[in-house]
Amino acid sequence: MTENISKNHKSKTVPFILVITLMVLSFVAGTSFSTYNFVSSANPEIINTKDDIPEYLNKSVDFNLYWDVMDILKNKYIDSDKILDTELFYGSLAGMVASLGDPYSVFLTPQVNKEFTEELSGNFQGIGAEIGLKKGILTIIAPLPGTPAEKAGLQPRDQVLAIDGVSTSGMGLDESVSRIRGEGGTEVVLTILSPDSEESRDVTIVRDVINIVSVSWSKKENNTAYIKLSYFNQDTEQQFRAVAKEVLASNPDQIILDVRNNPGGFLDVAILIASYWIEDDVIVQERFSDGTIDKYQSRGKPIFSDIPTVVLINEGSASASEIVAGALSDYGKAALIGMQSFGKGSVQDLIELSDGSSVKITIAKWLTPKGTTIDKEGLKPDIEVDLTKEDYDEDRDPQLDAAIQFFK
C-alpha cells in the first residue's frame, strides 16, 4: 500500500501504500513531492448532491468555534494539565485532512514527515512491511524482502488486529505506523489474522535497520533473465540501470520482471523503468478533478523492447508496480501472470509546510496508456496463478514456475 508520489520541486513519484519501518502504502504510485502521509479514519457524512447538504454545513465558517472547543478541552478535560497546545493544534490539522475521507490524504507532523522522507530514501528502522487500510481493516500489503516482517512470516492480506495488545479497530494509519515503528533491537507484537485462518495469532518481531536493495537479478532456466524489483525508491532507477546492463550483456532469450509485493514508490522511477520496454509513447495518464489529463511519455532507449517479457504481479503489487505492469500490458510488451494487483490508482502531492510538517493530498487518478482505471480494481493477470501459504512454507513458487513455462 506504497503509493504514487509526485514531486513538484523534484520529480513525480508513485501507494503508498509505508514500509513499516514503515512505509505506509498509503501505497505509492502517486505522490507529488512538494510531501507523505498518515491517516486517522474519518467517517464524514455521505453527501450525494448539493441538495443533500445539511443546513448547518451551508453556513459560513465561524472560527470562534475552534477557540471555543480548545478552551473547553483545556478547562474541562479531566487531565487538562497534561494537554499541550501543540498536540491540540496538530490534531485539529490532521482531523481537517482526515475529514476528506480519503485514506491517502493525510497530515504529517514534523516527526512523521521526517521519518517518511527517510523511508523514501531507503533508510529507516522498523519491521519492513507495507501496510494499508482495506475495507477499514489494517492490512499487510507487502513484507519487504530480507526484513524482519518477511522473516516472521507476514504475508500480503494478513490483517493486523492489534499492536502490542492494542486493538487496531478504528486506528488510523498514522497511529498504526507510530506504534509499529521503533528502534532496532526492540520488539513489537502484532496480532495477525491470515485469510486462510479462522484464529488469530501473536507474532513477535524484532525491529531492525531496514536497508532495501530495490533491484536484483539472476539467470533462470531456458536462458531467462529474472529481475526482482522490490520498490521504486530514489535510488532504484540507478540500481535498475546497472542491472539492465548486466542483463543485456547476458543476451537473454526472455525476461521475467517480478513486482510481486512491490508497494510502489516514485512515479518518475516507474516511468523510467517502463521506458526500458516502451519507446516514444505514453506510460501513464493523470486525470484531475476538472477533467484535464496529463500524459507522461517514455524516456530513453528501450533496450528490452524486443525481448519477450512476463511481469509477475500479486495482491501486494501496488501503485508504481501497477503503472509499469499496466503500461507493458497495454502495449503488448509483456504478459501478466499471478494474482490481481492491489488497485492503488491515485496520485498524491506531498506539500511541505514551514514547520517541517506536511500535507499529503490526493490530486489525481492515474490511468493506463489505454485509459484503464486501476484504482480499487487492480490489474487482472492474463494467467491467474495463486501462491498459497503451503507453497510459501514449502519454498514453492508456482507463479514463477508458470512464468518460466510461459516461454516454452
- CA dist 47 and 67 (Å) reads 27
At residue 196, the pLDDT reads 85
Share of the chain above pLDDT 90, in %: 58
Listed range (46-55, 208-217, 291-300, 392-401) with the worst mean pLDDT = 46-55
State the average pLDDT over residues 317-329: 96
Please report, for the chain, the start and end positions of each structural domain, with discontinuous segments joined by +: 57-98, 215-343+367-406
Note the pLDDT tens digit of each residue in 196-205: 899 999 999 9
> Is the model's pLDDT at 392 over the cut of 90?
no
Residue 117 has pLDDT above 80, yes or no: no
Three-class DSSP category at 391: helix
**What are the grid coordinates assigned to 235, written together?**
535510488
Residue 123 confidence class, pLDDT cut points 50, 70, 90? low
**What's the rounded Cα separation, in Å, for the pair 288 and 366?**
9
> Rounded to whole angstroms, how far apart are CA atoms 367 and 75?
51
Is 134 exposed, middle or buried (CB count within 10 Å of its CB: 0-12, 13-18, 19+)? middle
Q: Which of 35-44, 115-124, 263-272 has the lowest mean pLDDT?
A: 35-44
State the DSSP string of 51-100: GGS-GGGGSPP-THHHHHHHHHHHHHSTTGGG--HHHHHHHHHHHHHHTT
Q: Which residues contact 177 (CB under 8 A, 6 or more apart)?
A: 18, 20, 22, 24, 38, 112, 131
The predicted model gives 76-83 an average pLDDT of: 90
Confidence of residue 234 (pLDDT cuts 50, 70, 90): confident
Higher-confidence residue of 231 and 35: namely: 231
- Quick one: cell of 201? 495469532
Q: What pLDDT band is residue 178 in, cutting at 50, 70 and 90? A: confident
* Residue 119, pLDDT score: 67
Q: Catalytic residues, which ones?
A: 319, 330, 344
Q: What is the mean pLDDT of residues 134-149?
A: 86
Class of domain 215-343+367-406: alpha beta
Q: Which residue has the higher pLDDT, 388 or 271?
A: 271
In this prediction, residue 226 carries a pLDDT of 98
State the average pLDDT over residues 28-44: 30
User: Kindly report the CA angle at 133 between 126 and 290, in degrees rounded to 5?
Assistant: 115
| pLDDT of 240 above 80 | yes
Q: What is the pLDDT of residue 113?
A: 86
Which of residues 48 and 188 earns the better pLDDT score? Answer: 188
What pLDDT score does 245 carry? 97
- Percentages helix, strand, coil for the chain (3-state, rounded to 5) are 25, 30, 45
The confidence score (pLDDT) of residue 32 equals 35
Q: How confident is the model at residue 135 (pLDDT cuts 50, 70, 90)?
A: confident
Determine the pLDDT at residue 330. 98
Please, which pLDDT band fits residue 28 given cuts at 50, 70 and 90?
very low
